[in-house]
Structure 1
Amino acid sequence: MVVKIMATGIVGFLVGAALTFVLKGRVDSRRAEEAEEEAEKIIRDAGLRAENLLMEANVEAKDRLIKMKSEFDAETNETRVELKGLDKRLNQKTEKLDRRQDQIERIENDLSQRSKQLSEDTDTLAGKNRECDALISEQKMQLEKISGMTSEEAKGLLLSAMENDARHDGAKLIKRVTSEAKESADKEAKKIIATAIQRYAGDFVAERTVSVVPLPNDEMKGRIIGREGRNIRALEAATGIDLIIDDTPEAVILSGFNPVRREVARLSLTKLINDGRIHPARIEEVVKTVEKEVDQTIREAGDQAAFDLGVHGISNDLIAILGRLKFRTSYAQNVLQHSVEVGFLCGVMAAELGLNVKLAKRMGLLHDIGKAVDHEVEGPHAVIGANLAKKYGENPKIVQGIAAHHEDVPPESVYDLLVQAADSLSGARPGARKELLENYVKRLDDLEKIANGYKGVANSYAIQAGRELRVIVEGDVVRDEDAVVMSRDIAKQIEETLTFPGQIRVTVIRETRAVGYANK
């Protein structure tokens, strides 16, 4: 349509131009004719051009119309396909919703039926419960008439029986667990002891393996060290003890596990300091002199211990080893004094029993002889001591008593038990190992009070200086299984309420006595 308008405008423009030309040519008729012919020609040409343009415009318009129609048809087809897909999915969803609606209706009907059935069952169950309650009440009344007890009394009796059964089963379980634990006790005990030794080793070394020598002034430290350290090296080589010279004012520390060598080093250094002459040759001379003095002191201490107990005929070498115990301590108790005390106690008890007093004293005096060399020989000190006694020709009974006093080997005679008892008494008596008498007496009293608080206990005795608590129970009140439970309960209460060193053994003794009388 736009092309057609443009063609018409062009034609009009040409016609106007032609008319203008004709009007101007009126002046000259010839020229007017020519102009008229030219105008006609132009008009014809313009008409032809206009027709051509119109035809081209129509063709172009038709092409555009066809193209637009094709595009419209394509878009319409796509839209139809999408609408068909949407319509299909919509139909599928509608079908699913219909099926779900049917399922919901069926479930609602089922639930309604079940609710109705449940309501009926509830009513029936309530009726049966009422019947059961009535029957139970009737049975309780009949049982109370038959047994002559109320329901509360019967309940208490039943609970008591159940408690006794539970205690009985618990005691059996405890005995079984205890027996199983004993099988692995040795291994576990060694593990615990090893751990304790590791934790205590530092404190023990600092306390038991160190001696301090006072100095008149700090200048003496330089003289002890000597030129290029020759004096201190000579002293360490001669005594076998390490000298520690640090910032400690006016003091030198001697460190070593052998108490005899440490004493030799202490006396030698003290003599050298007092003498003032400190050089390698003098050091060796003084150390040899002090060694002889210490050996004489050791021998005198051993002879004095044997003399105090009236024990004779001990080998000189064994006397020397016994004297070395003067420089050993156990829980702050001097081992030589402890050995003499054990000898006296063994003699007293042997005399009361009508046994060989001299043999008992000798056994008690030598029972800890292994502690004199246990830092040089591997093994328990009881076994080491027994080997030493055997080596120096002691009686086999004495060898056995030494080996058995800590039950490293089983005891075989009354003397073995006497040594064990005397050893425990000497170590546990008040004051022997820095324990106040008041605390000792109070702990014994508390132990007996705890035991006497349990039902069925006839008597209780704290023995072995509070290391063991023996509880005598009435046989008709406490059963064997109850005795096991009681021992564990008492031990647990002692752990919770008392503070004590080491361990306390709780022994519950149950016996049945039958007494009969014969009359004439």
Structure 2
Amino acid sequence: MPTSVLIVLLLGASLVALLLVQFARREAAAERESGRRESDLLRAEARELMAEAQRREERVIEREKEQAADHRHSREYARTLDARVEAIARDERKIDDERAALARDRAQLRADHARELAAVAQLDPDQVRADLRTALLEEARLDARAELRRLEKRTAADAKQRVRQIMVDAMQRQVGETTTHATTTWIELPSEEMKGRIIGREGRNIRAFEALTGVNVIVEETVDAVQLSSFDVQRREIAEVTLRALIEDGRIQPQRIEAAYTRALVGADERHRQAGLDAIDEAGVRGLPMAVVDTLGRLRLRTSFGQTVLAHLVECAGLAADLAQAIGADVERARRAAFLHDIGKAFTHERPGTHAQIGAAFVAEQGEDAVVVNAVAAHHDEVPLESIEAVLVQIADAMSAGRPGARRDDLDAYVQRMESLEKLVGEHAGVARAVAMSAGRELRVVVEPDEVDDEGVRSLARTIAEHISQDFTFPGEIKVTVIRELRADAVAG
């Protein structure tokens, strides 16, 4: 091998060795630097731990100082409490001693007083003790009576307040509209053209309708409606059914008016029954015979001082049931009795006696129990009340009738005046029917054609007018119209 090559190899090996030595030194230096950094971190953490430990030790020392102070305060407070308890005990012993001394003094005074009384009155001590005992007992009785009176007053006041609250709650839940329209009924028309049909040619349809039903028909120009006016709610209801049937049919003429009127009369019983069934459902009463249902339905057109009787019964049933629930009485029996209490008003024109007597007899005939019968008979105090349910019926009746707006005395007086006028005219011979119309300013009298001839019509009109002027008080004037109509029917076969 050439020398130059060998020299190059030796130099390269030396260079490599030198590089390895430098790399080893650098690694060692890096390790020493990393060690120093870790050592510094460990020393810093150690210093932090020592500082934290010192802070905790300081907090522990501070807490021990605070606990020691609290302990001292507790010992001082305990000593203070012990001192107070001891002082209270001393005071109690002193009070007991004083109480005992007072008792001894009182006994001594009583004994001295008894001896003095005995010496003055020359009485025996036993007699004095007996008199003293009697006086004390009498004083105790007077105190007890006074306290009893105070308790009775407070109890009565509380009871009145409770009763008012119960009644108000019942009225809030049950009281509804029970007044009927006074003297008019509105009927909506499908079109303006229907007014002309109702009036008819030259007014013949409306005249035939009014003569047949006894109800005034007022045709409004500004609205598509007509108004039926009559003080008699039954006439007005039949006229309403008749007119609605004619409007539905659309063909209005005197013959059809008579046919519709006849159907309205025939269907009255069915309307009564349906009204009775609806009222029973609304009142929540079950198990009533059909005869009772039909009778109740007749009250749908019966009013008392402007109050609809059937709606009044439904309202009373709810009020009595709520009151019975509040005081723990028989709810269903109270509801049933209140619902039936005015049923006798359906017979007042047919049977003698008050409506309470008639109603009690009727419900007894229909199998109602004795409590219900007594409640019906006694709701106006005509017979003694025999049950708490009867009392509740009275209360419910008074609540329903006495609330503001439920009744109108002026309407009832007006109806009675119109009925009296019709009855006065109906007493004349040959009069078949008398109808007061236009709020009593017009009286239409239908006579029997076989009993009154054409000449007699004029004479009868004058006679009736004179009779009304003499025996009936009224403002303004009353027009008397006497109608005589003769019909002859024949059938061609």
State the structure with bigger RCO (CA 8 A, min sep 6), 1 or 2. Answer: 2
Q: Given the two structures, how large is their TM-score scaled by the length of structure 1?
A: 0.36
Provide TM-score, normalisation by structure 2. Answer: 0.37
